[in-house]
Amino acid sequence: MDDIAPYVPESGPHKTYRGNCHCAASVYEVSMPEVKEVEVCNCSICARKGYMMVWPSREDFKVIKGSVDALAGYTFGSGIVEHKFCKICGIAVIGLGHGVPKGYEFGINARTFQDFEGWQMKQRAVNGKKLGKAYDPPVHKGPLPQVEIEGGVLTTGSCHCGRVTVAVHSKPLDETYDSQIAECNCSICERGAYIWMYPKTEQVVLHAENPEDISSYNFGRGIIDKTFCRHCGVHMTNRYRPPTEEWLANASDFDKQWVPAAKANHNVNVRVLHGVDLSKLNITRSTMAKSLPPFYGNP
């Protein structure tokens, strides 16, 4: 694992990549050498968001829709990096560096490239965790799940800034965990880098002292909200959104069949849970959602 050092850009003929957040409020193009490797950092913010970073020249970046200023910005610690994400869908798009090592002034989360295949990319691990002060995980101060399972333990987690926390009661999240944990390569999961576990709704509590700190992004069938912190942009859970009478009257039988599972489960993004070693988990890769309608169209 490499420490942070001056970035050495890839060489070769330039290729134009087009990218966007999921809701398409932000669309861009960037010209750079073919991306053969992405940078993956283990620091407290990068690990939560699952960034796969590339570092082009700012001059080769062109906004097609929206603007850099229209993206939400989050800084912490010394404030040398501003993490920019979409206010609507929460997807992390770019990072702006100030006083950082040469080459790290402008970064793009390659997960936002259209038709990106993160599972196929070579990764360069960077030990950003060693920089600055050690991160102190925020404490969950909300209610606890009222249902306990045999042999279960309580695990808590949080967004990065601590305004949104989660508590889940499940079997221990280690190499003995035998329920499903999965990554997905659909249009939203590829961009969001989620690692999902699937506890029952009563096993999970998502909490914010101010409920407005929890943003929700809804799309597709409209019965699941992607929850994320509106301040730091960390995605937390998949939360059921009860269908309206209008939805029930107009939805297809295919869409209606998903309602019971959406209601029964409150999926949690394992990346946000404290003290969980992802390398010890049996994480499967799911391609099912990408093949199901409604299909995503690149803007």
Is the residue at 5 inside a domain? no
157 and 55, same domain (yes or no):
no
Please determine, for residue 298, whether its predicted confidence score (pLDDT) is greater than 70. Answer: yes
Give the structural domain span for 126: 14-130
pLDDT of residue 3: 58
pLDDT of residue 294: 87
Average model confidence (pLDDT) for the chain? Answer: 95
**130, 165, 185 - which closes a domain:** 130
126 and 157, same domain (yes or no):
no
* CATH code of the domain in which 47 resides: 2.170.150.70
- What would the mean pLDDT of 274-284 be, rounded to a whole number? 97
How many structural domains are present in the chain? 2
Is the residue at 299 inside a domain? no
Is the residue at 261 inside a domain? yes
User: Tokens 């229209």 sit at which residue?
Assistant: 70
Q: For residue range 139-173, what is the model confidence (pLDDT) as tens digits?
A: 999 999 999 899 999 999 999 999 999 999 999 99
Total-model pTM: 0.95
110 and 225, same domain (yes or no):
no
pLDDT of residue 7: 60
170 and 87, same domain (yes or no):
no
87 and 164, same domain (yes or no):
no
- What would the mean pLDDT of 282-291 be, rounded to a whole number? 92
287 and 157, same domain (yes or no):
yes
222 and 262, same domain (yes or no):
yes
Please determine, for residue 5, whether its predicted confidence score (pLDDT) is greater than 60. Answer: no
Please determine, for residue 4, whether its predicted confidence score (pLDDT) is greater than 70. Answer: no
101 and 178, same domain (yes or no):
no
pLDDT of residue 19: 99
Please determine, for residue 1, whether its predicted confidence score (pLDDT) is greater than 60. Answer: no
Is the residue at 35 inside a domain? yes
281 and 174, same domain (yes or no):
yes
pLDDT of residue 103: 81
Q: What percent of the chain has pLDDT over 90?
A: 87
264 and 171, same domain (yes or no):
yes
168 and 216, same domain (yes or no):
yes
**96, 130, 164 - which closes a domain:** 130
Q: For residue range 54-98, what is the model confidence (pLDDT) as tens digits?
A: 999 999 999 999 999 999 999 998 889 999 999 999 999 999 998
